[in-house]
């Protein structure tokens, strides 16, 4: 492990912040990790130390390397100010997903850091333009969105704001690439790439359930056994937690001017309101415990194929729209969905395999049943079917 002279600041010592700090330490940086909560700081430091101990046990680090990494970790109580971030080359904010809190942190950072310091937000859905808008130098602000757990997940979305300088984007991307991550470029739009394109995996599964088309167990079975996904949508929402998954859906829906394509489900909202957040609380869509019975799916292949193709059609349509609207390149869309959320294959190439015309037919049939705009086909998908060409990949 060689030392890197660039000091990295992390604002937020929760799971994401401490994970990013661990990545930076592992790649030889001095790191300042701060939080307003003493308990969070102690827990974050403990998580990093424990992770390095596991690395030593697995012979991926030596005792000396682990000790050296921990020796260059500085902890900061940010409730007392941001002074310890003054000499950082890059500061990554990883705090609560509230715009006002993030803006306050960025204003405080600008008061202490040098002119050349890059300020990055790990936000998963908030506007980079809004965060940068309160800064005196918005050209040095961008989004650097890691996925949880940051130490394991390879994808990082690089999101410039309207006023972010190109050299800042290049420097940030080179830094994260140097950490062994896979970076993709995303436009500053709600949900960026992954959280926007992935919405139908959850919302269309909920729509199928809410409309009485199939039960949760059958939908999960269809997406796993027919579609090849590692987890079904209801299992995955329970795993992520409804306090996270639902709020991302609602954030994207609101930011998209209440577009029906992203409309949340009351079924999931009621779970959130009841505090039934999924695995972390022992109950969500399913109950978790040794004696908890699980409903058996209706493992009918034709039913499973119908469910899978309807959800896939919505996913491919969203991926096509992301390319059409220049949110990301086709290649970055494919990379993001396979490396960011571990889809079995890229959605655009998957769409070509099934056939754009078949997917368009599914969407148009759904649109006839529900003509509210939720199932409107992407212009790119329509154009590809009309011209008899594959979706770009």
Q: How many other C-beta atoms lie within 10 A of the C-beta of residue 49?
A: 15
Task: Classify residue 168: in a domain, yes or no.
Answer: yes
Task: Classify residue 190: in a domain, yes or no.
Answer: no
**pLDDT at residue 1, rounded to an integer:** 63
Residues in Cβ contact with 57 at an 8 Å cutoff, skipping those fewer than 6 apart: none
Active centre residues (catalytic)? 124, 145, 157, 195
For the chain, which ranges sit under pLDDT 50? none
Q: How many other C-beta atoms lie within 10 A of the C-beta of residue 84?
A: 18
CATH number for position 368:
1.10.1040.50
pLDDT digits (tens, 9 = 90+) for 94-104: 999 899 999 99
Domain count, the chain: 2
> Is the domain of 22 the same as that of 48?
yes
Please give the sequence-ordered ranges of beta strands (E in DSSP) within the chain, or none if there are none.
4-11, 29-35, 73-77, 90-93, 118-121, 141-146, 155-160, 182-185
Of 126, 150, 185, the residue at which a domain comes to its end is 185
Spatial contact of 220 and 234, defined as CB atoms under 8 Å apart: yes
> Is the domain of 79 the same as that of 221?
no
- The dihedrals phi and psi of 335, each to the nearest 5 degrees, come to -65, -45
| Structural domain of 116 | 4-185
DSSP 8-state class, residue 30: E
Task: Classify residue 202: in a domain, yes or no.
Answer: yes
CATH number for position 165:
3.40.50.720
> Rounded CA gap, 176 and 92, in Å?
11
pLDDT digits (tens, 9 = 90+) for 289-331: 877 778 899 999 999 999 999 999 999 999 999 999 999 999 9
pLDDT digits (tens, 9 = 90+) for 286-295: 999 877 778 8
> Is the domain of 166 the same as that of 214?
no
> Is the domain of 82 the same as that of 164?
yes
């Amino acid at each position: 492990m060689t030392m890197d002279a660039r000091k990295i600041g992390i604002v937020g010592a929760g799971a994401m912040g401490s994970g990013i700090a661990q990545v930076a330490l592992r790649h030889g940086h001095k790191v300042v990790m701060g939080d307003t909560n003493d308990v969070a700081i102690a827990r974050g430091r403990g998580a990093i130390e424990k992770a390095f101990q596991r690395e030593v046990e697995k012979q991926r680090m030596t005792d000396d390397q682990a000790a050296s990494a921990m020796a260059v970790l500085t902890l900061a109580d940010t409730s007392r100010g941001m002074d310890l971030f003054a000499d950082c080359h890059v500061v990554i904010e990883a705090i609560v997903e509230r715009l006002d809190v993030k803006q306050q942190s960025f204003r405080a950072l600008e008061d202490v850091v040098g002119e050349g310091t890059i300020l990055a937000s790990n936000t998963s859905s908030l506007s980079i333009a809004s965060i940068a808008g309160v800064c005196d130098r918005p050209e040095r602000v961008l989004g650097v969105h890691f996925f949880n757990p940051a130490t394991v997940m390879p994808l990082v979305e690089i999101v410039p704001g309207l006023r972010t300088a190109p050299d800042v984007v290049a420097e940030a991307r080179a830094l994260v690439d140097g950490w062994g991550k896979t970076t993709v470029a995303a436009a500053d739009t709600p949900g960026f790439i992954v959280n926007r394109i992935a919405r139908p995996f959850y919302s269309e599964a909920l729509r199928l359930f809410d409309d009485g088309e199939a039960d949760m167990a059958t939908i999960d079975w269809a997406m796993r056994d027919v579609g090849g996904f590692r987890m079904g949508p209801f299992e995955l929402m329970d795993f992520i937690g409804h306090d996270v998954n639902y709020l991302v859906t609602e954030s994207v829906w609101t930011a998209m001017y209440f577009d029906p394509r992203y409309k949340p489900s009351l079924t999931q909202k009621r779970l959130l309101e009841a505090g039934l957040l999924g695995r972390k609380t022992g109950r969500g869509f399913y109950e978790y415990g040794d004696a908890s019975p699980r409903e058996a799916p209706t493992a009918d292949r034709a039913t499973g194929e119908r469910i899978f193709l309807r959800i896939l059609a919505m996913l491919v349509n969203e991926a096509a729209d992301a390319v059409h609207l220049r949110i990301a390149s086709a290649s970055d869309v494919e990379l993001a969905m396979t490396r960011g959320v571990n889809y079995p294959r890229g959605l655009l190439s998957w769409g070509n395999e099934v056939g754009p015309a078949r997917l368009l037919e599914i969407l148009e049939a759904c649109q006839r049943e529900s003509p509210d705009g939720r199932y409107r086909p992407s212009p790119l998908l329509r154009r590809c079917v009309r011209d008899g060409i594959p979706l770009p990949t």
